[in-house]
């Protein structure tokens, strides 16, 4: 056997092994740092408030990512928080010409929503000003086969009303199946409960281009006291 052929049998596997090792090192070590910096620095800059992140895990071979303990604003009084985000990215995105995710799961999301005395919503402060240069650009092609939200919680208070009602909605569960950023959208199911046992359910289809939804909404166990606190100032008695 020629010497050059023997050498090729040695250096080709060696080069492949080195490439795999380099890819693994970048995926397990560099990618989590990149994700953390993007959330903390770019996220904080875009929202205008501090953002902190706990653990970030990236599996470069399965294209899975887990992010834990995301907190927006003061950790003692967060505006938004998330216990765990799990994302399963699909390699088929390369030939489908779209960002394809098999699963996106959010565990323990939290939001503190307050209507101020002037009627403004505190969470609206986090929405950045729209860029006129990108206002007419279409949404990026996105396909999520399954999106699941579990154990969500929203603390809501309305300080614009005389009685200043407060409510806690928990647990909140939301699922979205086969969703695309195209007119057909995807099917969704939203379920939330209040601390007094009131149950809210909404299911149907949701699309973002254009923004539209259709389905059924139901309320069970609604308490008259809660209705009175929120709409008493609009009633003639």
> Is residue 116 a contact partner of residue 122, using CB atoms and an 8 Å limit?
yes
Answer whether residue 225 shows pLDDT above 60.
yes
Give which of 165, 177, 74 is closest to 114, Cα–Cα: 165
Amino acid 51: pLDDT: 93
What is the tens place of the pLDDT at every residue in 167-185?
888 899 999 999 888 777 8
Name residues whose C-beta falls within 8 Å of residue 178's C-beta, 6 or more positions apart in sequence: 143, 144, 145, 146, 186, 187
What are the pLDDT digits (tens) for 26-85? Answer: 778 888 999 999 999 988 888 888 999 999 999 998 999 999 999 998 777 899 999 999
């Amino acid at each position: 056997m020629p010497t050059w052929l023997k050498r090729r049998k040695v250096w080709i596997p060696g080069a492949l092994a080195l490439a795999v090792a380099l890819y693994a090192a970048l995926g397990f070590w560099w990618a989590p740092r990149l994700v953390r910096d993007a959330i903390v620095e770019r996220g904080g800059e875009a929202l205008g408030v501090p953002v902190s992140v706990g653990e970030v895990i990236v599996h470069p071979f399965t294209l899975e990512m887990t992010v834990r303990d995301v907190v927006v604003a003061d950790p003692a009084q967060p505006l938004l928080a998330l216990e765990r985000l799990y994302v399963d990215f699909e390699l088929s995105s390369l030939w489908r010409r779209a960002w394809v995710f098999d699963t996106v799961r959010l565990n323990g999301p939290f939001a503190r929503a307050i209507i101020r005395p002037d009627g403004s919503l505190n969470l609206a402060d986090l929405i950045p000003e729209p860029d006129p240069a990108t206002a007419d650009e279409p949404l990026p092609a996105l396909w999520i086969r399954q999106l699941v939200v579990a154990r969500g919680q929203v603390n809501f208070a309305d300080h614009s009303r005389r009685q200043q009602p407060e409510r806690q909605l928990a647990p909140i569960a939301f699922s979205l199946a086969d969703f695309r950023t195209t007119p057909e959208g995807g099917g969704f199911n939203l379920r939330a409960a209040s601390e007094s046992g009131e149950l809210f359910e909404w299911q149907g289809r949701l699309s973002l281009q254009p923004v539209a939804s259709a389905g059924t909404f139901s309320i069970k166990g609604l308490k008259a006291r809660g209705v009175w606190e929120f709409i008493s100032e609009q009633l003639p008695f």
